[in-house]
């Protein structure tokens, strides 16, 4: 494990730019929002200063309305598509004038990372100053989500782009993307870079990229006006993972507030409200699983992702629901005691359109496994958690720090030297 820890540190060190940590050496040369939070969870064990800088750099690019952009562009980096020109964020009155960013969000893990950093810190005094600095920004970020993204004021926030889920080409979005029919004139013209850097078979398809870019153009043309987008966007989803993470982030923000002498109750209340809404609207009692909800068609999306089990992470299910989730996890091929597959693949291994190598259509991702390990431990499933922790360690030890892995062979796919894989391994080893 010492060797593994050293290798993990080397990955983070190699991707450190002096201002923030790149998710990967070439495929992702800028700063990404949820990557930054996971990366901070690794740095905090080795170098608090870097962990803090990671979040500081991200929040420096926060929009006036509280939005935390999913990409903060690095001025010196080249070779990424879509770059700042495609996003045209100057059309929004809220975007920062001097920092180039994208115009969408990613899952809100930041308060969770900040609170973990504080608990981990040896020098609480210095870290407290950091918490004080970040607290209002985290509040503005969460306020943005509940103010702009809670369509029916029901305690659930929506995402409006597959990239906002963090699980870009998950089979979750197939139905919506099929409904987004593009005439030849609607098809955006662009040239991808990602498929020149890693295997094309590991990445989303051209038809998917057409739709990603179509949505970006829709946002820019609407001037990023959320009231307009809420009515016109063909992609509006209440996602299980996103709402789980905002629920936990509110719980962590409550802890931060209490630590700083503020009233934690409003944050606790909001967390409870999300948890209740997730249980009311996203829980499917017959199938014993949480499902995403399509706001455009006004119906659930019955696609089984590993992410559908993550409400365990935020303490959302009650004891009985948790027990049913865990049996479901074991019975469905997601979780294997016998090593027949590296647990837990991102998508149902028996699901339609499963691929062991294609991004979010089946490969094992370490962040989802980390969330499940924490969630299982939270409910007292310590053997399950320990087993998952072991498979993750083995997977990385044998195959290196990849972006994602083939669930049967363990072979690494996507980018090598992937930062959050290294960071979360550091956290698991701690
Ligand atoms: C990418 O470029 O693949 C990212 O996931 C989009 O943010």
Query: Which sequence positions are flagged as catalytic?
Result: 168, 403
Instruction: Identify the structural domains of the chain with CATH numbers, from first to last.
Output: 29-330 (1.50.10.10)
Between the CA of 3 and the centroid of ligand 1 the distance, in Å, is 30
Q: What is the pLDDT of residue 416?
A: 97
Q: What is the pLDDT of residue 123?
A: 87
Q: Is the CB of 427 under 6 A from ligand 1?
A: no
Q: Is the CB of 294 under 6 A from ligand 1?
A: no
Residues 63, 103: Cα–Cα separation, whole Å = 9
Q: What is the pLDDT of residue 126?
A: 85
Ligand 1, residues 26, 28, 161: which to mutate, most atoms within 8 A of Cβ?
28
Q: What is the pLDDT of residue 142?
A: 98
Q: Is the CB of 168 under 6 A from ligand 1?
A: yes
Q: Of ligand 1's atoms, which has the minimum distance to the CA of residue 204?
A: 3
Ligand 1, residues 163, 197, 219: which to mutate, most atoms within 8 A of Cβ?
163
Three-state SS sequence of the chain: CHHHHHHHHHHHHHHECCCCECCCCCCCCCEEHHHHHHHHHHHHHHCHHHHHHHHHHHHCCCCCCCCCCCEECCCCCCCCCCCHHHHCHHHCCCCCCCCCECCCCCCCCHHHHHHHHHHHCCCHHHHHHHHHHHHHHHHHHHHHHHHHCCCCCCCCCCECCHHHHCCCCCHHHHHHHHHCCCCHHHCCCCCCCHHHHCCHHHCCCHHHHHHHHHHHHHHHHCCCCHHHHHHHCCCCEECHHHHHHHHHHHHHHHHHHHHCCCCCHHHHHHHHHHHHHHHHHHEECCCCEECEEECCCCEEECCCEHHHHHHHHHCCCCHHHHHHHHHHHHHCCCCCCCCCCCCCECECCCCCCCCCCCCCCCCECHHHHHHHHHHHHHCCCHHHHHHHHHHHHHHHHHHCCCCEECCCCCCEECCCCCHHHHHHHHHHHC
Q: Of ligand 1's atoms, which has the minimum distance to the CA of residue 27?
A: 2
Between the CA of 163 and the centroid of ligand 1 the distance, in Å, is 6
Residues 33, 37: Cα–Cα separation, whole Å = 7
Residue nearest to atom 7 of ligand 1 (CA): 163
Between the CA of 148 and the centroid of ligand 1 the distance, in Å, is 23
ipTM over the 0.85 cut-off: yes
Q: Is the CB of 403 under 6 A from ligand 1?
A: no
Per-residue pLDDT 10s for the chain (430 aa) are 899 999 999 999 999 999 999 999 999 999 999 999 999 999 999 999 999 999 999 999 999 999 999 999 998 888 899 999 999 999 999 999 999 999 999 999 999 999 999 999 988 888 999 999 999 999 999 999 999 999 999 999 999 999 999 999 999 999 999 999 998 888 888 999 999 999 999 999 999 999 999 999 999 999 999 999 999 999 999 999 999 999 999 999 999 999 999 999 999 999 999 999 999 999 999 999 999 999 999 999 999 999 999 999 999 999 999 999 999 999 999 999 988 888 899 999 999 999 999 999 999 999 999 999 999 999 999 999 999 999 999 999 999 999 999 999 999 999 999 999 999 999 999 9
Between the CA of 36 and the centroid of ligand 1 the distance, in Å, is 14
Q: Is the CB of 35 under 6 A from ligand 1?
A: no
Q: Is the CB of 163 under 6 A from ligand 1?
A: yes
């Amino acid at each position: 494990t010492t060797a593994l820890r050293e290798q993990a540190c080397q990955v983070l060190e190699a991707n450190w730019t002096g201002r923030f940590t790149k998710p990967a050496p070439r495929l992702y040369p800028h700063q990404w929002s949820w990557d930054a939070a996971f990366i901070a969870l690794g740095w905090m064990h080795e170098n608090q200063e870097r962990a803090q800088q990671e979040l500081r750099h991200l929040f420096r690019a926060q929009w006036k309305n509280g939005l935390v952009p999913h990409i903060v562009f690095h001025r010196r980096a080249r070779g990424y598509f879509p770059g700042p020109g495609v996003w045209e964020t100057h059309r929004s009155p809220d975007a920062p004038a001097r920092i180039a960013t994208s115009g969408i969000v990613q899952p809100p893990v930041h308060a969770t990372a900040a609170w973990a950093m504080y608990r981990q810190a040896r020098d609480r005094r210095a870290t407290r100053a950091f918490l004080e600095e970040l607290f209002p920004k985290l509040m503005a970020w969460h306020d943005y989500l509940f103010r702009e993204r809670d369509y029916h004021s029901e305690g659930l926030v929506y995402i409006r782009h597959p990239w906002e889920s963090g699980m870009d080409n998950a089979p979750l979005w197939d139905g919506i993307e099929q409904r987004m029919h593009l005439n030849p004139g609607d098809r955006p013209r662009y040239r991808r870079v990602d498929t020149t850097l890693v295997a094309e078979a590991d990445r989303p398809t051209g038809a998917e990229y057409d739709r990603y870019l179509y949505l970006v153009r829709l946002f820019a043309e609407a001037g990023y006006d959320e009231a307009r987008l809420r009515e016109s966007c063909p992609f509006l989803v209440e996602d299980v993972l996103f709402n789980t993470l905002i629920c936990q982030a509110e719980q962590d923000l409550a802890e931060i507030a209490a630590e700083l002498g503020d009233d934690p109750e409003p944050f606790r209340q909001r967390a409870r409200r999300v948890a209740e809404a997730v249980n009311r609207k996203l829980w499917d009692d017959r199938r014993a699983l949480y499902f995403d909800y399509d706001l455009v068609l006004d119906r659930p999306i019955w696609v089984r992702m590993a992410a559908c089990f993550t409400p365990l992470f935020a303490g959302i299910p009650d004891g009985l629901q948790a027990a049913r989730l865990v049996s479901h996890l074991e019975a469905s091929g997601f979780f294997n005691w016998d090593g027949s597959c590296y647990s837990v693949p991102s998508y149902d291994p028996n699901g339609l359109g499963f691929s062991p190598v294609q991004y979010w259509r089946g490969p094992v991702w370490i962040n989802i496994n980390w969330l499940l390990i924490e969630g299982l431990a939270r409910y007292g499933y310590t053997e399950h958690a320990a087993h998952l922790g072991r498979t993750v360690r083995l997977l990385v030890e044998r195959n290196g720090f990849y972006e994602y892995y083939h669930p049967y062979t363990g072979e690494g796919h996507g980018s090598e030297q992937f930062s959050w894989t290294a960071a979360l391994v550091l956290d698991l080893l701690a």
